[in-house]
């Protein structure tokens, strides 16, 4: 993979978008890292599994929305 910001970053598949460029890979990894850190922060302050999942849903949904928004505009 090489960095080409003028070419497509993502390829649309059946259920989502796969990165096909280094820039797309950076975005995908950033979203995964954000979700991991956010999950650990939510889990640290939760009292039950349902409490963790309910509070994690907000951050995960926002990250998934922005991932899809970027991927759709750069594919």
Residue ranges covered by each domain of the chain: 19-73
Burial class of residue 36 (count of CB atoms within 10 Å of its CB; 0-12, 13-18, 19+): exposed
* Mean per-residue pLDDT pooled into runs of 10, the chain (75 residues): 75 91 93 95 91 91 94 91
- Which DSSP string corresponds to the chain? ----TTS-SEEE-SSSEEE-SHHHHHHHHHHHHHHHHHHHHHHHT-SSHHHHHHHHHHHHHHHHHHHHHHHHH--
- Spatial distance between the Cα atoms of 27 and 2, rounded to a whole number of angstroms: 14
Q: What is the pTM of this model?
A: 0.84
């Amino acid at each position: 993979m090489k960095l080409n910001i003028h070419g497509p970053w993502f390829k649309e598949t059946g259920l989502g978008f796969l990165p096909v460029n280094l820039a797309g890979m950076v975005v995908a990894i950033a979203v995964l890292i954000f979700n991991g850190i956010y999950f650990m922060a939510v889990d640290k302050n939760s009292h039950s599994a349902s409490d963790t999942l309910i509070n994690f849903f907000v951050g995960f949904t926002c990250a998934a929305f922005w991932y899809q928004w970027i991927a759709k505009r750069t594919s």
